[in-house]
Amino acid sequence: MPEPVETSDPEGVDYGWVMQTTFVLTIVIGAPLVAALSIPFTLPTWGSRLEFAIRVGAVVWILIAVPVFLYAKLVLDERMEDPTEPSSDSSEGLSERRPDEPATDEDGPSQ
């Protein structure tokens, strides 16, 4: 049976994970932030509201995307470089897989 299309085995940064995480965090954090930042401004027309949301939303997106990418580059790549090396944190017995990877039989029961 062919491998499902939605799986991947990226080398380096998993850009799909970065894009998905950036999207979700931008919606969860950005939408309320843009709404709160619009309170002191007079935005009488839909055009002015749209312009404000695009300008502020773009800055919010960049401020979220850069840390997500750096996290994926520095933290997740570091974990995936040498899976045989024991972890230096307190979770030494736990599996070293990315947050978006499904559990396998050797990882134990899925949570």
Residue 21 is inside which H or E element, if any? helix 15-25
Note whether 103 and 110 are within 8 A (CB): yes
93: burial class by Cβ within 10 Å (0-12, 13-18, 19+)? exposed
Q: What is the mean pLDDT of the chain?
A: 79
33: burial class by Cβ within 10 Å (0-12, 13-18, 19+)? middle
Residue 44 CB partners (closer than 8 Å, separation 6+): none
Q: Average pLDDT of 83-97?
A: 52
Nearest to 98 by CA among 27, 4, 11, 6: 11
User: Could you read off the pLDDT of 17-68 as tens digits, one per residue?
Assistant: 999 999 999 999 999 999 999 999 999 999 999 999 999 999 999 999 999 9
